A and B are shown apart, each in its own frame.
Chain A
Amino acid sequence: MSVVSGEVRAVASASGPSGETLHKLSALLTLALLIAIFAFGNAAFLSVNNGLTVLLQTSVIGVLGIGMTMVIITGGIDLSVGSVLALSGTVTGMLVKAGMPVPAGMAAGVAVGALCGLANGLVITKMRITPFVATLGMMLIARGTALQLTGAAPISQLGEAFGRLGNGALFRLVEKQPNGLSKVIFPGIPYPAIVLLIVAVAAAFMLRRRALGRHLYATGSNEEASRLSGVNVDRTKIAAYVLSGALAGLAGNILMSRLVTAQPNEGVMYELDAIASAVIGGASLMGGVGTISGTMIGAFIIGVLRNGLNMAGVSAFIQQIIIGFVVILAVFVDQLRSRR
């Protein structure tokens, strides 16, 4: 945790460390408020099982959001993550279906994601195409490839091992009862949540303590200055897109594993949730600003909002409208803060 909160001090936002902390505090407060409201409305909201559900649902968006944060810090954007998620998961599914061991298949899926990210990075830095357009192209290319490879049909019956990452849990306690049924004493910590935690801590460490992290902030803050200071700006940007792509691949594997089915249609519009997480968490689309802890709070705000509204029986359409307002509000509050 100290690593995550350490970012705040070291890499101050445009309005300084106090402003950065303030934003994170207000986001955290919003999250607490949401939880309080939903808990008040429905006692089941605070149950362990529902908590785990939120954790599971948020882990995919959280992993995507972490990659997105790195890209946004450089002043870029990655619209392709939803499609890359689908392509990676699909490739993993096909390889596993063809007989490849699950870990190798998943590694290959993540590698496909990283390759898509590499392509994004090269198009942006070498062909000098803006990130918006380059990743919009990749969004179509990756989605089209996933659909073409599978004929748009889901790949099912992938076996128990394929489903373990998405459905398994650490420290799960199950007791055999005399009647032969098993009773879950403790549902355990879902693997996706553990993956999210590991990725978040690693990413926060990288941003805070490694030269690459420093260069990501510098590039987003002032690209020309970074170049003149001897920072390899192109390589820094490419690294951000490769990481974003690889994390999209990882998120794809978590999601498909949870469904125990490789779905080429999954992940549509996930990039927008990932961007929203980062922005609610205080990342600036102008570059130079953003933290992993902030993005995590943003991802959980979206996750809790979705889950709570679902439990309250609010339609998916209304949910979209509400999340739309939240994003605009979050950015507005952020601008008020930096304008003063």
Chain B
Amino acid sequence: MTPLVEMIAIEKHFGGIHAVNGVSLDLHPGEVVGVLGHNGAGKSCLMRILSGAMRPSAGEIRVGGKTVEINSPHDARDFGIETIYQTLALADHLDAPANLFLGRELRTRWGNLDDKRMMEETRKVLARLNPNFRNLSDAVSRLSGGQRQVIAIARAIYFDAKVLIMDEPTAALGPAETAMVGKLIKQLRQEGVGIFLISHDMHDVFDLCDRVVVMNRGHSVGSYRIDDVSKDDVLSLIIKGALPEDWALRNRERLQ
């Protein structure tokens, strides 16, 4: 099966600093891949390259097997790659529909904003995520962290994303809302969406991911199926950049 996305030998330099150093990774339909690492390990940088917020210094990106150039967030969206940013990237003074459709507003025949239809569509997609969501015409600055996150997620899924990049999607959320996001990720996976999940929360990672890719100082130090590693193994990868020495021994049977 062709991967949804392949990033091949991606490099990103800032002056003399190598933020991303020859990293390759791929993502298949219906797969959740955890992208892990310390702050500054290069994972956010790598994801920003895929979402079009940053251009790579070198390397190749393939979408559905075809080599593409992603020069802007707009390009990424055209390829079906949607990103939910850690900072939530919402315009605080606008309401939920205005945020959901920001940059892709629905228009009437005369080119005017079709606020009525945007409101209806927003109601539909939000109902799927959180049936209790009612403050649709409030400025999003007045909403809770969870409600804001719902809007950010709704924005990504409304436009039929094939690839979803989630940067710490539950960092600002309470337990109930975290559970809701978890449920949503599982649902999207069933629908065949591929998800890159950047997270520091080991519980989330082991609950949601099929595979983890760990980065350390700009390098990828490995890609493992979640069943093959323990939390300690992953922590070792993150901290030391290598698996514990006894890993191969412990997994000998399974590896054969």
**B93-A12 in contact (CB<8A):** yes
Which stretch, B20-28, B72-80, B174-182, B194-202, touches the partner chain A?
Answer: B72-80
Chain B residues within 8 Å of A289, by CB: 93
Q: Which of B72, B73, B93, B105 contacts A14 (CB 8 A)?
A: B93
In chain A between 202 and 244, which residues have their CB closer than 8 angstroms to a CB of chain B? 208-211, 213-215, 217-218, 220-222, 224-231
Question: In the bound complex, do residue A222 and residue B105 qualify as a contact, i.e. CB atoms below 8 Å apart?
Answer: no
B112:A210 contact, CB within 8 angstroms: yes
A187 part of interface (Cβ distance < 8 Å): no
Whether A214 pairs with B98 at a CB distance below 8 angstroms is: yes
Partner of B138, one of A12, A213, A227, A230: A12
Known pairs A16-B139, A210-B113; A229 contacts B103 (CB<8 A): yes
CB of B225 closer than 8 Å to a CB of A: no
Interface stretch (choices B2-10, B81-89, B206-214, B244-252): B81-89
- Residues of B within 8 Å of A15, CB to CB, are 139, 142
The residue in chain B whose Cβ has the minimal distance to the Cβ of A230 is B103
Residue A11 is within 8 A (CB to CB) of chain B in the complex: yes
Contact residues in A for B105 (Cβ distance below 8 Å): 211, 214
Residues of B within 8 A of A12 (CB): 93, 95, 137-139
A183 within 8 A of B: no
Interface size class of B (residues with CB under 8 A): 20 to 34
User: A230 and B72 in contact (CB under 8 A), knowing A12-B95, A211-B113?
Assistant: yes
Q: Does A288 interact with chain B (Cβ within 8 Å)?
A: yes
Decide yes or no whether A152 CB sits under 8 A from chain B: no
Q: Determine which residue in A209, A213, A224 has the highest number of CB atoms from chain B within 10 A of its CB, and name it.
A: A209
| Chain A residues in 8 Å Cβ range of B77 | 230
Q: In the complex the two chains form, is B112's CB within 8 Å of A288's CB?
A: no
Q: Find chain A residues with CB under 8 A from B87 CB.
A: 224-225
- Cβ contact within 8 Å between A11 and B113: no
Please tell me if A13 contacts chain B, counting CB pairs below 8 Å.
Answer: yes
> B residues within 8 A CB of A337?
none
Asked if B39 is at the interface (CB within 8 A of a chain A CB), the reply is no
- Docked-complex contact B91 and A218, CB < 8 angstroms: yes
Q: Is the CB of A13 within 8 A of B89?
A: no
Q: Which of B65-117 contact A (CB under 8 A)?
A: 72-74, 77, 83, 85, 87-95, 98, 102-105, 107, 111-113, 115
9 contacts between A and B (CB under 8 A): A11-B98, A12-B138, A17-B137, A209-B113, A211-B113, A214-B105, A218-B98, A221-B91, A288-B93
Interface, chain A (partner B; CB < 8 A):
9-17, 208-211, 213-215, 217-218, 220-222, 224-231, 288-289
